[in-house]
Amino acid sequence: MAQNVLQFIDGEYTKGASGATFENISPVDGSLISIVHEAKKDEVDRAVSSAKAALRGPWASMSISERNSILHKIADGINARFDEFLKAECADTGKPYSVASHIDIPRGAANFKVFADLVKNVPDETFHMETPDGAGALNYGQRSPKGVIAVISPWNLPLLLMTWKVGPALACGNTVVVKPSEETPTTTALLGQVMNDAGLPKGVFNVVQGFGPDSAGAYLAEHPDVNAITFTGETRTGEIIMKAAAVGLRNISMECGGKNSAIVFDDADVNKAVAGTMRSAFVNCGQVCLGTERVYVHKNIFNEFAEKLAKGARDLVVGPPDGENVNMGPLISHEHRDKVLSYYNKAVEQGSEVLLGGGVPDMPTKYAKGAWIEPTIWLGSKDDSAVVREEIFGPCCSLLPFEDEDEVLARANDTKYGLAGSIWTENTSRAHRTAQKLDAGLVWVNSWFLRDLRTAFGGAKHSGIGREGGVHGLEFYTELKNICIKL
C-alpha cells in the first residue's frame, strides 16, 4: 500500500480536514510513490497559528547558543537518517543516488550548521556619535526575529533549497511554515520527525503540502499572520507571490529563473571548460537554476569544444537512481518533459542544428512510463530564438560562436535574466574584466557551482530580489533596530 505524506503542524503529523489528496508519481517508471494529503485553508490557518504562538513560547526565550545546539542536532539528525532522506529524494525526483548523496543531502544538513554558527558569530554594528554638549551618544543595532516566515520551495533540489531558507530562518529565531513543491513532498515531511527528535519546540517548524493556486501555496502567501515570504521558483510565480505579499507590506526574498551563459575564451583550458560545461548543462538532468543553457565559445576553439562536449554528453548514462554508472535521471514529470520537448521541437523549427540528442531515449520496458529525455546540444541557434532566450530547465544547451570580448559580453547580457554565469579563460586580467561586466548575481571563473555558504546568493533582473547567504540573509530574516544611548 502506498505511503501517506501528511502535514506537519505543531509538532504532529496530520491529514487535511478536507480529505483532499493527490498522487505522487515516480518520474522513473510512472509508479505510485505516495498519497499526499493536501492542505487547504484550514490547515494553513492552523500551521500559521501554531508558528505564531511558537514565537511567544520557549523558542523566544532561548539563547543563541541553545538555538545553535538544536540546529546542530537537526543537521546530525539528517545525517543519522541519510539513507532514508537519500532514497526519498531520489524516489521523488528520479535523480541518481550519486548526485543526491554528494549534493542534496549533505548540503541539506550543512545548511543548519553553517547558519547556526554564522548567527552566533556575527557582530552587531555600533556607531559612536558626537553631540553638541560634548558627551556623545552610542548607537547600536539589535536584531530580532522577523516572525512567521513562509518558505515556498521548488522541486529541483528539494531538501537543499528548502533548508537553505529554513536554516537561517531558525538560526535567527523565527518560526516557519514550509510549502514544498507538490512534486517533491517527502523529504520536507521527513524533516518534521528530525525536528522533534532534535528538541525543537512544537510549532517552530510546520509543513503544509499541496499546490500553488487555490491550495496551500496561495493560502500561505496570502495569510495575514505571515510576516515575510521567501520563495524559490519560476519568475512568473514570484510575481504572483509578490502581489500577495504587497497586502500588509510583507517582506519578500525571491530566487527565480535564469538563462545562464558560459563564455569560453580561446585562451581557456578547453578540457576543463568542457568538463565544467558538462556539469553545468547536464547535472540533475539540466534542472538547476544556475545551469548553463547558452555556451558562447570563441571561434578559434569552437570545433574542438563542440566535439569534446558532444562526446561527453554522448557518454552520459541515463537511467534510474540506483542504476550502475548512471549520471543522468529523468525529468521531474511528464508535464515538464512536454515543456522541454516543445523547446526541442521549436529549436529545429527556428533553424538550430541538432548536434546531439533532440528527443526521447529508448529505455527498457520497465521504465517506459518514465519522463526520460535525451541530453541535447544545438549548433547554429539564432540569438533571438526561443532556445537562446527562454529558460528551458532541461539537459540542453546551444553552442554559440563569438569573435571578441565586447561582442560576447553584449550577447551574454542580452537577456531578461541575471542569475549566474561562468567564464573560462587562463588570462587573469580578462577574468576580472569580464566577470565584472557580466550582469549576474553570481559569476564563476574556471568553475561552476562552487559555493561557499557565507557568500551572497541571488539574482539580478528577472532572476530575483534580494540576497541570501552569509550575513546577507540577516537583512531578510531579522528586523534591525537602532538603539541610541545619550551618554
Active-site positions? 255, 289
Is 394 among the residues that bind ligand NAD (CB under 6 A)?
no
Angle at 363 between CA 357 and CA 366, to 5 degrees: 160
Q: Which is nearer to ligand NAD, 192 or 212 (CB)?
A: 212
Is 257 among the residues that bind ligand NAD (CB under 6 A)?
yes
Q: What residues form DSSP beta bridges with 478?
A: 145
Q: Which is nearer to ligand NAD, 253 or 352 (CB)?
A: 253
β-pairing, 3-5 vs 137-145, is: unpaired
Residues in CB range of 147: below 8 A, 6 or more apart: 52, 55, 174, 175, 227, 228
CA distance 205 to 202: 7
CB of 179 to ligand NAD, least distance (A): 5
Q: What are phi and psi of 285, to 5 degrees?
A: 55, 35
Residue for grid cell 557551482: 449
- Scanning residues 438 to 477, which ones bind ligand NAD (CB under 6 A)? 459, 463-464
CB of 486 to ligand NAD, least distance (A): 44
User: In 363-480, which ranges are continuous DSSP H helix?
Assistant: 386-389, 405-413, 428-437, 472-477
Q: Count the residues of the shown chain that bind ligand NAD, applying the rule CB under 6 A.
A: 32
- Encoded one letter per residue, x for contact with ligand NAD by CB under 6 A and - for no contact, window 274-293 reads ---------------x----
Is 153 among the residues that bind ligand NAD (CB under 6 A)?
yes
CB of 125 to ligand NAD, least distance (A): 28
CA distance 275 to 380: 22
Q: Which is nearer to ligand NAD, 128 or 236 (CB)?
A: 236
CA distance 278 to 384: 24
CA distance 478 to 465: 17
User: In 299-445, which ranges are continuous DSSP H helix?
Assistant: 302-314, 334-349, 386-389, 405-413, 428-437
Closest chain position to ligand NAD (CB): 212
CA distance 203 to 52: 8
- Taking CB under 6 A as the binding criterion, the range among 115-123, 176-184, 245-253, 350-358 that sits at the site for ligand NAD is 176-184
- Encoded one letter per residue, x for contact with ligand NAD by CB under 6 A and - for no contact, window 205-244 reads ------xxx---xx--x----------xxx--x--xx---
Q: Which is nearer to ligand NAD, 185 or 319 (CB)?
A: 185
Q: What are phi and psi of 318, to 5 degrees?
A: -95, 130
Among 258, 321, 330, 370, binds ligand NAD (CB under 6 A): 258
CA distance 347 to 354: 8
Residue for grid cell 509508479: 31
Is 255 among the residues that bind ligand NAD (CB under 6 A)?
yes
Q: What are phi and psi of 320, to 5 degrees?
A: -75, 165
Is 391 among the residues that bind ligand NAD (CB under 6 A)?
yes
Is 152 among the residues that bind ligand NAD (CB under 6 A)?
yes
Q: Which is nearer to ligand NAD, 173 or 233 (CB)?
A: 233
CB of 471 to ligand NAD, least distance (A): 18
- Encoded one letter per residue, x for contact with ligand NAD by CB under 6 A and - for no contact, window 72-111 reads ----------------------------------------
Q: Which is nearer to ligand NAD, 34 or 153 (CB)?
A: 153
The radius of gyration computed from the CA coordinates of the chain, to the nearest angstrom, equals 23
CB of 296 to ligand NAD, least distance (A): 20
CA distance 51 to 166: 13
Is 256 among the residues that bind ligand NAD (CB under 6 A)?
yes
Q: What residues form DSSP beta bridges with 289?
A: none
Is 155 among the residues that bind ligand NAD (CB under 6 A)?
yes
Contacting positions for ligand NAD (CB under 6 A): 152-156, 161, 179, 181-182, 211-213, 217-218, 221, 232-234, 237, 240-241, 255-258, 289, 391, 393, 419, 459, 463-464
